[in-house]
Amino acid sequence: MQYYSLAHLSPNVDFMTAARHGQAPDRGLYFPEHIPVMLPSFVDELPSLGLVDIAQRVMEPFTEGPIPSEALKRILGSALSFDIPLVGLSEDLFVLELFHGPTLAFKDVGARFMSRCMGYFNGGAANAIGAEGTSGAPGSGGSASDGGSGTASARDDRPLTVLVATSGDTGGAVASGFDGVQGVKVVILYPKGKVSPVQELQLTTCSDNVTALEIEGTFDDCQRMVKEAFVHETLQNHLRLTSANSINIARWLPQQIYYWWAMRQWTKDVDPVFVVPSGNFGNICAGLLAYHMGLPAQHFLAACNANDTIPRYFQTGKMEPHPAVATLSNAMDVAVPSNFGRILEMFEKKSSSVSNMVSSVSLDDQETVKAIKELYEQYGYMADPHTAVGYAAWKHYRDRHPGAKGIMLSTAHPVKFGPTIEKVLHKKLPMPKGIQDLYNRPVRKKTMLPSVQALTEFLQSQG
């Protein structure tokens, strides 16, 4: 599999090169040269397959070459070492809980897969599995006999710097995945005062190889700074940079795994509507990739908060971002969703209209609070604000499509937004031990203006 830049000004590369670079030299996002199609028999086989087996079948076409089959299986076994249950709320609505990983957020899947891939590229299978020992989850074992097969020709022994912007959960998942991994430095940019207290602790209490930069601006400022760093000539000459945002294919592609796993647990006789809380649109983009590979689905609903760039796009056909506004569902406070270009690309490749399969709706904080209350009072289900946005969007969709049945992606554990949930429900949330431990660790962070020059100078000083 080769990957090309959506800007079409850079040469095609393999999976390892695209993952290491994060973004193409021409600033475009990487996209697979073709979308593999799973045989219909694969859907029939799902009930007999385990999570890692499904993951390997789905991911192998994308990693073939740089990662041998047995190494991929060990990487997946190490990364996917937690449950992803489909929980029924009613006859027509089910919740895919993606928050059972070490940082209690859906981004654990992509971040853990990426960290183990980078470990493999840096030092072979032993390093890929060795990352497990620093993340706090059980490993899958396995031999280290591959020794980095297929990577020798592109060897680069300089320390790898993972540069990532986060609106909340990405940073914590990346920090956990790479925490203490030798030969890898992680620099995380997050908007000051716009992440939850638990999210900030997950960013700022890691080992010395993880640095948190508190940016006096918005997530879009953070994302802009990261993108500019990747095309900065001096940095490129002196540092080996990669991104861990969903712009990186190693973060984005594995997110399709849990859509297939949801279908593995689906027992209804109609294809589901997937309801996806959406900010940077990497999550729903992965689901749509799975759909183009053969995943049964009736529709995809992108649930947005007050940052409504994409809902307005579907209404007007024009991409006109407004400045990002802060909401209760902070991880979705994105004005310029990077991954939407990938969505348009995959539909163009299939010569079909995106609006036939995807719709989007914007909900404000008042509707979010109402949804949190209703989920608890009607179903006894405690949901974080992002999942609540999804529920509110589902209600709008269901009213117009009676008979539809939905799978709503729950992207974060409610404890990560404890103050909001406790204020709305007037209930104290129990604190998982892993979160309690964060409060006993020293906090390390550096405050920075939203300046590319400031980031460049910092990175050079660290190199």
CB 324 within 8 A of CB 220: yes
Catalytic residue among 107, 194, 395, 405: 107
Which residues are within 8 A (CB) of 114 and not within 5 positions of it... i.e. 6 or more apart? Answer: 19, 174, 177, 244, 248, 250, 251, 254
- Angle value at C-alpha 69, between 65 and 75, nearest 5 degrees: 105
Q: H or E element: which one contains 406?
A: strand 406-410
CA distances from 92 to 96, 253, 401 (A): 13, 28, 12
Q: How many CB atoms lie within 10 A of CB 357?
A: 17
Find residue 163's DSSP bridge partners: 187, 243
Query: Coil, strand or helix: which one is 26?
Result: coil
107 assigned to active site: yes
- Indicate left, alpha or beta for 22 from its phi (over 0: left) and psi (-120 to 50: alpha): left
Query: Coil, strand or helix: which one is 49?
Result: coil
Angle between helices 418-425 and 365-379 (to 10 degrees): 70
**Half-sphere exposure of residue 451, counting CA atoms within 13 Å on the CB side?**
8
Q: What is the DSSP letter of 417?
A: G
Find residue 165's DSSP bridge partners: 189
CA-wise closest residue to 186 among 176, 201, 199 = 176
What span, in angstroms and rounded, lies between the C-alpha atoms of 371 and 355? 26
Find residue 164's DSSP bridge partners: 188
**Strand order from edge to edge, sheet including 184-191:** 240-243, 160-165, 184-191, 210-215, 446-448
- Active site positions, annotated: 107
